[in-house]
Amino acid sequence: MTDYLETRLKQKGWSNEDVAKAVRALSRAEEMKSQKRKFFDSFVYWLGIIFCIVGSMFVGVAVVPFLLIMDGIWLFGFISLIAVSFGSLIGFLLNGVEKIGKQKTVVASIFIPFLALLNIYLITRLSNLAARTIGLSAHNPWLISIMYVWMFCLPYFAYKIFSSVMLKQPLRLG
């Protein structure tokens, strides 16, 4: 966060001395946080992660009817739209947490897409069983899962690349 803050303040015309003062003041404030405040910050972070996990499961279940009735380009377009939308929401959450506190989002940046991959794979497999039972065509669960996770991660990576280019800093994921 301090690299981001320093770069932003320098871009806004702050002197090196003023930037150093601001960073020291924020560091002191972080060190002086009470245990309750630190616990609350951690609680909010983990609550957000749990929200992402539960939301991912709901998205997976909501996709089942569309897996049954759609095929081809329409299915991939719909899955892409859902994945980008939900990925944007999760990316917004992770980037917000990253800016607010010192919480490391590396675990969440890896864990949540992996969980989404697993979830969509299982949902696709289950919907394929239902589709075969009622005489509909089945889908390739790996193709749908990988495409979903790619589109799910796209907003997060786009934000990271865009912010690193705008701030003229090396790209840091997580």
Q: What share of the chain is helix, strand, coil (3-state, %, to 5)?
A: 85, 0, 15
User: What would the pLDDT profile of 111-133 be if each residue is shown by its tens digit?
Assistant: 888 888 899 999 999 999 998 99
Q: What is the pLDDT of residues 41-74, one digit of tens each?
A: 778 777 877 888 888 888 888 888 888 888 889 9
Phi, psi of 168 (to 5 degrees): 55, 50
Residue 106: enclosing H or E segment and its boundaries? Answer: helix 106-133
- The SS3 of residue 22 is helix
- Under the banding of pLDDT at 50, 70 and 90, the label for residue 94 is confident
Looking at residue 56, its pLDDT comes to 83
- Phi, psi (degrees; rounded to nearest 5) at 34: -75, 165
> What is residue 80's predicted lDDT score, i.e. its pLDDT?
92
Q: How far apart are CA 161 and CA 28, in angstroms?
A: 30
